[in-house]
Structure 1
Amino acid sequence: MKKRLKSIVGIMMCMLLLLTVTACGNKEKEKEGSNGIPIVRVGVSWHEKQSTNVTVWSDYMKQFGEEKGPEYGVEFEWIEVVGDGTPVQETSNIQDLINQQVDVMVIWCNNAETIGESIKKAQDAGIKVVTLDHQDSGKLADAHVGQETLEQSVIAAEALADILEEDGVKDAKAIELFGSTGDPNSVNRSGGWAQVEEERGMWETVTTVPTEWKTENFKSGLSNALAANPDAEVLFLASDFAFSAVQAALEEAGRWEKRGEAGHMYICTQDINPEAYPAFVDGYIDAGVPFDNIAHAEKVVEVVADLYLGNTVEKENWIVTPAVTSDNIETEPSVWARDYLKAE
């Protein structure tokens, strides 16, 4: 009887092993495209997708994936999840991608401090992780693609200091519209602005307004700051995605004037999104540095492919763009907003 039971158990184990091998074989087969090359399933977690720059990232990652797939010998399948701007929803979305067993994950995180736990869970499940734009504070991700935002703001602030010097503006009062304390990019940009302020001595930041990246805070914050500091001449923007709100506040305060006109507010900005490009061309914005979303998207595709194929990948992959002023706003290649608006 015992011998018969052992035989039955042995047969069952063999059948289970056979089913497992077959399932694995089918999984591998499902990863092959119609042309026989492997499919890399890329899970992309956006903590929100309301701004234009996120749409550009998404669109161009897919475009470059299609264009460069044959070069890398893979086919890209993109699985996107979008949060509501909260860490809780982001955590849930990333767990969903883990459950779907994606091969590589790209994360645009909400908070650099809290994203680490989700990154660890993905890596424990055998998933390579790439952070985009917002690097996790512990630098746990397998690779990061972003802009060195301290350098970005230093370059932009230096360009503004040159303009102020050229126009004979000294000892100006400045208003800073800050991003979010949980975003390293905000902290870096503010730090770069302060660095040039100290080194060049062209302005003094009299108030720093936190916005938490909310459009309504850009308007209300700037309106209140202008009311308290009507003689301020300089404005630093952590980002210009909400520039319509900035313009509205300046108009209401009677400060929406071009360079060279009385009451002009000298503006130094970051990113040069489509929302700000027309005002830059028309002379309302004086200096800035583009955030080249298209170059970021291309680099993400390259890094994802290399991680999937087991190639050596740099831990940090930085995109560098130059200062933009009225001299080159209409010619600088990294100002993607120009071509984006023309295509609309």
Structure 2
Amino acid sequence: MALTRREFTVATLAGLAATSGMTLAVRAQGTKTIAVLFDGLYSEFWVAGIQIIREDLKKRGFEIMEAISDQDDNKQFEQVRAAIARKVDGIIIVQTDSNAVIPAIKAANDAKIPMVHFNRPPAKTDAFSVAIQADNQKIARDAVTYACEVAKQSGKKHKAAILIGDLGDPNAIQRRDGFEEAVAQFADTIEVVAKIPTEWNADTAFAGLTNALQANPDISFLFTSSDFLIPQIQQALKSADKWHKVGEDGHVIFTGFDGFPDAYALMKDGYMDACGVQNLFYETELAIQAILDLQEGKEVDRLLLDPGFAITQANMEEKAPEMWGYVLWKEKNPG
């Protein structure tokens, strides 16, 4: 049985955060062993993801082998080899580099062990594996389209900026493309004046946004490709006297992506207009079911999509319970 939202608590995450950079094994009674190999726990998204996977596997009675590679491709390949030597029944993996993981896929194929990529697909290869991925482009397009409609309703023209993720990550490319598809439909309202590379680095993002705001002090529309950059965005906007709530003079129409607790808090408090949300609960179910199906000899598509959703100021009350970040926020703020 899959993990329910009520069972996923901040308390279960607290101990996990301290394990970043360590290799560990968590044992439970069961007849199957699944290796869970992440490249790091460097954001709340990955901490939440691995914990949801862990809890789901435990409830199924599986034995779990866990390892963290610290974004070291060679180290992760050795972890894959160790999982193969242990004759695990399946591997759930988050790799750093989409090309560097291909030898690991081939090794798993040779050992006839199913491999599933969680939230980050590999590069194209003849080797077979399954990738679970959010429909980043659609989710970003839907969230940004809502923000564009808000901008149009204001009756003003808006200058926009986008914080782009690491372009070596397919997720970042798809989110950028979704943003561009949305704003292209509102060319009479939105002019993109700054495309800020972040390389998924908070300091790089802060410097880039600060420079963009100095060069274009009338920026009033912003999209971030990941919510983990929210603290830096808030700092930069405050410094530019642009940190204002929806409906207040000087409010920057702000759209996020991922569904972090910080994003929900900002939406609740009125600072963020919309956010594209990945459904971590659904992605976990897809990943584990893919391994079970492959073990049974069933055909499974190479790419399984999480459609996700856009949470907005208009639908927040309805959609919040489906947002993993809301679940964490609610645990910290009961009542």
TM-score range, shorter chain: 0.7 to 0.9
Counterpart for residue 49 of structure 2: 57
Please tell me whether the aligned partners of residues 90 and 110 of structure 1 are also in contact (alpha carbons under 8 angstroms).
no
| 2-structure distance, mates of 1:160, 1:141 | 39
Counterpart for residue 125 of structure 1: 111
Change (3 A) 1:88 1:249: farther
2:178 to 178, 192, 207: 192
Q: Secondary structure of the residue that 2:109 maps to in structure 1?
A: helix
**Shift in Å, 1:304:** 2.0
Counterpart for residue 98 of structure 1: 84
Matched, 1:161 2:148: yes
Counterpart for residue 253 of structure 2: 266
| 1-structure distance, mates of 2:203, 2:84 | 35
Counterpart for residue 285 of structure 1: 272
Matched, 1:299 2:286: yes
Q: How many residues align?
A: 302
Amino acid at match of 1:116: I
Matched, 1:44 2:32: no
| 2-structure distance, mates of 1:66, 1:84 | 24
Choose 1 or 2 for highest CA Rg. Answer: 1
| 1-structure distance, mates of 2:280, 2:133 | 9
Please tell me whether the aligned partners of residues 71 and 95 of structure 2 are also in contact (alpha carbons under 8 angstroms).
no
| 2-structure distance, mates of 1:226, 1:86 | 35
| 2-structure distance, mates of 1:141, 1:259 | 47
Per-residue deviation, residues 239-281 of structure 1 (Å, max 9, x unmatched): 1122112111111121111122122111121112112221111
Per-residue deviation, residues 147-192 of structure 1 (Å, max 9, x unmatched): 111111111121111111122232x211111110110010011011
| 2-structure distance, mates of 1:250, 1:218 | 12
Please tell me whether the aligned partners of residues 281 and 330 of structure 1 are also in contact (alpha carbons under 8 angstroms).
no
| 2-structure distance, mates of 1:227, 1:84 | 35
Q: Secondary structure of the residue that 1:130 maps to in structure 2?
A: strand
Per-residue deviation, residues 100-124 of structure 1 (Å, max 9, x unmatched): 3322111112122322222112212
| 2-structure distance, mates of 1:216, 1:269 | 18
Which structure 2 residue ranges, 5 or more long, are not aligned?
1-27
Q: Secondary structure of the residue that 1:324 maps to in structure 2?
A: strand
| 2-structure distance, mates of 1:42, 1:255 | 48
1:338 to 326, 329, 335: 326
Please tell me whether the aligned partners of residues 57 and 64 of structure 2 are also in contact (alpha carbons under 8 angstroms).
no
| 2-structure distance, mates of 1:208, 1:93 | 37
**Shift in Å, 1:317:** 1.6
| 2-structure distance, mates of 1:141, 1:135 | 12
Please tell me whether the aligned partners of residues 233 and 265 of structure 1 are also in contact (alpha carbons under 8 angstroms).
yes
Per-residue deviation, residues 279-324 of structure 1 (Å, max 9, x unmatched): 1111111122211112211222222222223333333221112321
| 1-structure distance, mates of 2:105, 2:144 | 34
TM-score norm. by structure 1 comes to 0.82
Change (3 A) 1:208 1:87: farther
Which stretch has the larger CA shift, 296-305 or 154-163? Answer: 296-305
Counterpart for residue 212 of structure 1: 199
| 1-structure distance, mates of 2:76, 2:162 | 29
Please tell me whether the aligned partners of residues 242 and 275 of structure 1 are also in contact (alpha carbons under 8 angstroms).
no
Counterpart for residue 235 of structure 2: 248
Per-residue deviation, residues 18-77 of structure 1 (Å, max 9, x unmatched): xxxxxxxxxxxxxxx96xxx622111111111211212222222222233x3xxxxx311
| 2-structure distance, mates of 1:95, 1:246 | 40
Please tell me whether the aligned partners of residues 130 and 141 of structure 1 are also in contact (alpha carbons under 8 angstroms).
no
Please tell me whether the aligned partners of residues 321 and 334 of structure 1 are also in contact (alpha carbons under 8 angstroms).
no
Please tell me whether the aligned partners of residues 135 and 308 of structure 2 are also in contact (alpha carbons under 8 angstroms).
no
Counterpart for residue 308 of structure 2: 321
Amino acid at match of 2:302: K
Please tell me whether the aligned partners of residues 40 and 308 of structure 1 are also in contact (alpha carbons under 8 angstroms).
no
Matches of residues 2-151 of structure 1 in structure 2 within 5 Å? 39-67=31-59, 69=60, 75-138=61-124, 140-151=127-138
| 2-structure distance, mates of 1:126, 1:148 | 28
Amino acid at match of 1:66: K
- Provide the alpha-carbon RMSD of the alignment: 1.9
**Shift in Å, 1:141:** 4.1
Percent identity at matched positions? 27
Q: Secondary structure of the residue that 1:92 maps to in structure 2?
A: helix
| 1-structure distance, mates of 2:168, 2:227 | 18
| 1-structure distance, mates of 2:201, 2:69 | 15
